[in-house]
Every structure is written in structure tokens, then in C-alpha cells.
Amino acid sequence: MTTYYTSEHEWIRVEGDTGTVGITAFAAEKLGDVVFVELPDIGRKVKKEGDMAVVESVKAASDVFAPVSGEITAANTAIVDKPESVNEDPEGAAWFVKLKLSNPGELSGLMDKAAYDKFCATQ
């Protein structure tokens, strides 16, 4: 299992041809208290860097972008019912979706943890 990060502060944890996607702890902290999450329907096809979900906090609403192209196979409805969980465990239990990767080669453009931490230090 390998985790990758985007410059838009999403993470994707890949196991086989499935990726679990969420927002990073850095993003959750910057957003502040999350009050609403909108997830895509299962079966929806998403394109790399395309809109995939919405997260709203007391400060702002933000789109969540797909780190890679694929088809949504699961949505974490628990975070819709309890959006504050995104602040509590953004890189764990508060994942947003699972998707079947349609082009695993797109992962090569993403950052590993060390590169992402360095990127965040400049934000």
C-alpha cells in the first residue's frame, strides 16, 4: 500500500487497482471546522484533477479534486452524517471515496510524503 499526495492537498492510498482518497491533515487544518461534505455517486467516472466532492467549513467551501482518473466504487457516507470527523481523522477514518484506477500511470505525477511535507512548508 502506497500513499501519494497532490498539490491541492488530497491524498490517495493505493492498493492494487483501488485508491482510497481524502483530504490531508494540512487541508483540514486550513479549512477549520468542517460542517458539510458532499460526495459523488458510486459509479461516477472522474478525471484526474476534476471536481469529485465538496467540503465546506465555517470559513470556506472547497472542491475536492480527483488525484487520478477512475470510477467511484465506494463513498464514505459516515462523513456526510458526521462532517466534523474530517477534522478528527482526515487521513484515516474520514476518507472520502474509493475508486478503481483507470490509468495507474497518473500516480507518477503525485508526491510522496517527504515531497508533500516539503511542499506544505512553502504554503
pLDDT at 1: 86
Percent of the chain whose predicted confidence (pLDDT) is above 70: 100
Selection from 39, 28, 43 nearest residue 78 by Cα = 39
pTM reported for the whole predicted model = 0.96
Confidence of residue 70 (pLDDT cuts 50, 70, 90): very high
Burial (CB count <10 Å: 0-12, 13-18, 19+), residue 68: buried
Comparison of pLDDT for 55 and 123, the residue scoring more: 55
Strand partners for 19: 14, 99
Q: What mean pLDDT do residues 15-28 have? A: 97
Which domains are delineated in the chain?
Answer: 2-104+111-121 (2.40.50.100)
Q: What is the pLDDT of residues 74-121, one digit of tens each?
A: 999 999 999 999 999 999 999 999 999 999 999 999 999 999 999 999
